Chain A
Amino acid sequence: MVEKMGGIQAYLQQQLHPETIDDSAVEQQVAQLDMLQMSSAQLLSLYKEERQAAKAKREEQAKSAAATATAPAPADMQEQPANAALTPQLTPTARLGKMLAAARSVSAVGQLQQAKLIRAADSNRQLQEVLVDFWSNHFNIDVKKSLDRVLKVADDREVIRPHILGRFRDLLEASAKSPAMLIYLDNALSSVPRTVKMGEVMVTQRLRDQMMANGNGALAPEVPKVGDKKGGINENYGREIMELHTLGVDGGYTQKDVQEVARCFTGWTVNRDTGEFQFRPRMHDNGEKVVLGHVIPANGGMQDGETVLDILAASPATAHHISLEMCERFVSDDPPPALVDRIAGVFTSTSGDLRAVTEAILTSPEFLSSSDYNTKIKSPLEFAVSAVRATGSTLTTPQAGLLEKAVSTMEGSGTLGRQQAVDRINKRPRQSLNWHIYDLGEPLFGCAPPTGYSEVSRTWVSPGALIERLNFALALTEQKVSDVKFDAQSLFAGIDLDQPDAVLDHAVDTLLQGRVSDATRKVLQQTVVPQDGADKTVNPNKLVALIIGSPEFQRK
């Protein structure tokens, strides 16, 4: 036991320093995903080109549809969807093909999802990947929100991944300056209300003339008049940074604090050409602010936001909120309050050193004790990837187009014709791992509300989701997960398939680390061992499907 504990400790220490672990095979695979290597500026220009092309096409189609319209709709109730006229009358398959051809920038999300799956399944730096998942969820960004379908690439690469074992204050700042976050929670738009002056009118007029001359009239900005009131505070980020990212909903802030924090962050925005963070002094509210009782003097400029980050990162409420969430992730849905308090103490005494906080949780008796161990239900991602890992299956490059399909359905119902595509794909007998995780209820990088997915694992269990888990178990073992190769032969290498007990022992050891109830074992036996005498050969695919679908495999 001591030796085993020592083994665990050594493993943990190594995992806490992922840079010491060789992961070149996985990083080589990820490096092949070309869009993940691009700068935000490159991705943005790609995205804009596509938007313009798509818009021009829609307008053309609208014109031709209007020309062919014969009679008005017979009655209000028969009215077509508002945008039906814009939808070309294509078969679902043809429409899907067109969508894919027209949507290259969307595949940036597909590549992000693929990289996440590659790393989850094959990385030697497992703790790092779990932490990346945790912090991406904590600072949730939904890639369906406008430019975030391309800007999330840099957020993952430069905001989340480098900071997960550093200081919380640094991670918080990186997130506050993340263009993807500034867009997701609307801070990029937040500015002090101002009166338009002559200069702005002239600059905008010049820009508009230019764009009209270049044939981009549809995208050209409206020219304001002198004296127009423009801009104003947007509270969205001011609220969520306190409620979700730092203090927690009971963290003791008021509506007034929300407004004051929003004022502090005015001018923290995104350069629309480079896709990089930018502070625009003209948008900033230069007045004095009071945040959680701290007076922030007038004319602080960009420093106002930095001060807010200092205040929030140092608050005991933040230490508690972060500790609770991490304990929920790593220990149990209802972590012992004493543990949470202890971890919050570590957070405070180390000034938010996330490596120390993570280590304190993973070396706590509560984490290591058997009563709290094995109690969380796996999230869809954890479930699907653990099945791939446990069975020794290999992740292959998805067939061309499959990733993009998964992404296209995430674009929200406002977009044309998506639902037909969803319907179409739902009926496909084969789909990618990414797609299965979507069906299980966890679209990767696609959680719409800023809360992210719940850390309370009970919420993943519903009748619908359970049936989808069983379907995944069947699909995996029947080679119907298009980008995963399941290999029963190597999984059962050296085992005689006509020796049912040995086969069962091996499967339970490999897939469940031997943790199986008597009841489950009995059902496995009844189901996979032919009852009628003569031939006792076990069907290994069926056995593995049953185990992946078993109650035991749903928990971690």
Chain B
Amino acid sequence: MNVNRRIFLKQGALAFVCLGAGPMWGPNFLRNTAFAAELGSRRDNKILICIFQRGAVDGLSMVVPHGDPHYYLNRPDISLKAPSQAAGAEGVLDLDGYFGFNPALKPLLPIFQQGQLAAIQACGSPNSSRSHFESQDLMESGVDEGNGTRDGWLNRLLGCCPEDAAKQSAFRAVSTTAITPRSLQGEQDSLAIRDLDTFGLAGDKSVMLPGPTGTANGFENMYASAVDTVLHGTARESFDALGMLDKIRNGAYVPANGAAYPNSPFGKNLRQISQLIKANVGLQVAFAEVDGWDTHANQGNAKGTLSTRLGQFGQAIAALHQDLGDRMSDVVLVTMSEFGRTVHENGNRGTDHGHGTCFFVMGGPIKGGKVYGDWPTLAPDKLFQNRDLAVTTDFREVFGEIVSRHFGVPMADMPTLFPQYSVDAARFRNFYAA
């Protein structure tokens, strides 16, 4: 792709592999190399963390419209109680007299009150297929109809913010998933690593020799000379990452400020993203996903399946916020889901596939403490197709505001990012402090 990366690969990653011996190379042995100094110096970059709640989360149970009487009429069994003395801990955590957090999201309340977290209600895509697969595919493509785009919107974002090629990091875009999510698929390099803690080659000492006869070098050389472009590119990214990762693994990671990540894969994902941010490896875009939101049956209210999920979700995000501390000034985190769920509960105390849902935005530059968006209400005549929460904020207005104000992507690039939609700054919700 460019000379500097090739040099880095050959002098950096390859050299590191040569030195490695035994299962997982020693964590610290390269910290004194010339590259280490350069790595630690990347403090200036803006960072976006995208979290996809796969399965269509019930936004009405995240940020509860306790001031809307239709909410209670539609949900006799699964509504969350309005805040009151009687409701106690089962009542929602009031935000503005009309909306309230699900009590399971209590860890996020202080961040909302400090003004670094905001919600955007009735947000989503105009697409109405109600298919998980299609809707996720389209949202991650940055479009709302057809068969999606060839690449993901985050990958195009990387193309729209050209980095100084010489400085470009193997960790510029990282997904904490086993395979590359649709959002990051495309021409720009990105990494998909489910678990950074255990990412590495674990081989016998006798084959992990330095020089051209080492097995690790053999692997790398085979892929470097392969004409198979798909595998060639993937391998180059893999070995780049291995080299760099080796330098930032520095014993056990201890989160700062007493942050406690929950014991869930998602908690671990956010912990590792935080670790990468603090290692100053040039991370710009991070992606994590969390599933379990497809609550067709017995979703519960203050207690139950959904609240348990939300509890872990909120706790992980709050831990990241606390762990990053001052670094949050460079970070924006956005949560999304393919669609919301029916306003009316179904026959199994659950909800079916709906339309609008709720997104969160969090970070130093966010004007938080507010629920953004035009609330369409849940009155029968305001519902989308007579059943679902309407969408009053297109997901691309949220993404568009973030990329234009956080990364300085010019409005002229918006059609590239979001080909089927005309992003208009006049429609931005202005949750980002200018």
**In the complex, chain A residues whose CB is within 8 Å of the CB of B305:** 414
| Chain B residue with the shortest CB-CB distance to A518 | B225
Contact B242 A517 (CB under 8 A): no
Contact A527 B213 (CB under 8 A): yes
**In the complex, chain B residues whose CB is within 8 Å of the CB of A81:** 262-263, 311-312, 315
State how many residues of chain B have any CB contact under 8 Å with chain A.
88
Contact B227 A528 (CB under 8 A): no
Contact A464 B297 (CB under 8 A): no
Q: A81-B262, A81-B312 are in contact. Are A186 and B296 (CB under 8 A)?
A: yes
Tell me the residues in window 339-398 of chain A with beta carbons closer than 8 Å to chain B beta carbons.
Answer: 377
Contact A463 B218 (CB under 8 A): no
Please choose the segment from A24-32, A64-72, A157-165, A465-473 that sits at the chain B interface, where 4 or more of its residues have CB less than 8 A away.
Answer: A465-473
Contact A239 B353 (CB under 8 A): yes
Q: A234-B350, A550-B222 are in contact. Are A466 and B235 (CB under 8 A)?
A: yes
Provide the B384-422 mask, 1 if CB < 8 A to any CB of A, else 0.
010000000000000000000000000000000000000
Contact A234 B347 (CB under 8 A): yes
Compute how far the CA of A423 lies from the CA of B268 in the bound complex, rounded to whole angstroms.
10
Contact A523 B132 (CB under 8 A): no
Task: Tell me, yes or no, whether A462 is within 8 Å of chain B by CB.
Answer: yes
Residue among B55, B106, B204 making CB contact with A474, cutoff 8 Å: B204
**In the complex, chain A residues whose CB is within 8 Å of the CB of B179:** 441, 459-460, 462, 465
State how many residues of chain A have any CB contact under 8 Å with chain B.
82
**In the complex, chain B residues whose CB is within 8 Å of the CB of A258:** 130
A427 CB → nearest B CB, Å: 7
Contact A233 B213 (CB under 8 A): no
Contact A255 B130 (CB under 8 A): yes
Contact A464 B218 (CB under 8 A): no
Compute how far the CA of A257 lies from the CA of B104 in the bound complex, rounded to whole angstroms.
36
Task: Tell me, yes or no, whether B201 is within 8 Å of chain A by CB.
Answer: yes
Contact A463 B191 (CB under 8 A): yes
Compute how far the CA of A193 lies from the CA of B346 in the bound complex, rounded to whole angstroms.
9
Compute how far the CA of A248 lies from the CA of B232 in the bound complex, rounded to whole angstroms.
33
Contact A464 B215 (CB under 8 A): no
Task: Tell me, yes or no, whether B375 is within 8 Å of chain A by CB.
Answer: no
Contact B242 A467 (CB under 8 A): yes
**In the complex, chain A residues whose CB is within 8 Å of the CB of B139:** none
Task: Tell me, yes or no, whether A78 is within 8 Å of chain B by CB.
Answer: yes
A75 CB → nearest B CB, Å: 8
Tell me the residues in window 172-227 of chain A with beta carbons closer than 8 Å to chain B beta carbons.
Answer: 186, 189-191, 193
A461 CB → nearest B CB, Å: 5
Contact B228 A417 (CB under 8 A): no
Q: A461-B234, A526-B213 are in contact. Are A451 and B178 (CB under 8 A)?
A: no
Provide the A267-304 mask, 1 if CB < 8 A to any CB of B, else 0.
00000000000000000000000000000000000000
Q: A414-B309, A463-B192 are in contact. Are A539 and B207 (CB under 8 A)?
A: yes
Task: Tell me, yes or no, whether B98 is within 8 Å of chain A by CB.
Answer: no
Compute how far the CA of A470 lies from the CA of B217 in the bound complex, rounded to whole angstroms.
12
Contact A234 B234 (CB under 8 A): no
Contact A429 B133 (CB under 8 A): no
A192 CB → nearest B CB, Å: 8
Contact A466 B231 (CB under 8 A): yes
Residue among A255, A463, A526, A555 making CB contact with B221, cutoff 8 Å: A526
Task: Tell me, yes or no, whether A546 is within 8 Å of chain B by CB.
Answer: yes
A278 CB → nearest B CB, Å: 17
Provide the B272-309 mask, 1 if CB < 8 A to any CB of A, else 0.
00000000000000000001101011000000010011
The interface of chain A, by Cβ under 8 A from chain B, is 76-83, 186, 189-191, 193, 229-236, 239, 243-244, 249, 255, 258, 377, 412-414, 417-420, 422-423, 426-427, 429, 440-441, 448-451, 458-467, 470-471, 474-475, 478, 517, 519-520, 522-524, 526-528, 530-531, 539, 541-542, 545-546, 549-551, 554-555
The interface of chain B, by Cβ under 8 A from chain A, is 23, 54-55, 76, 104, 106-107, 109-110, 128-134, 178-180, 191-195, 197-204, 206-207, 212-215, 217-219, 221-223, 225-228, 230-232, 234-235, 237-238, 241-242, 258-260, 262-268, 291-292, 294, 296-297, 305, 308-309, 311-312, 315, 318, 322, 345-348, 350, 352-353, 385
15 additional A-B residue pairs with CB within 8 Å, beyond A451-B132, A466-B234, A520-B226: A76-B107, A80-B260, A231-B347, A232-B348, A235-B346, A236-B294, A239-B353, A249-B131, A441-B179, A470-B201, A470-B219, A519-B222, A526-B213, A527-B215, A531-B212
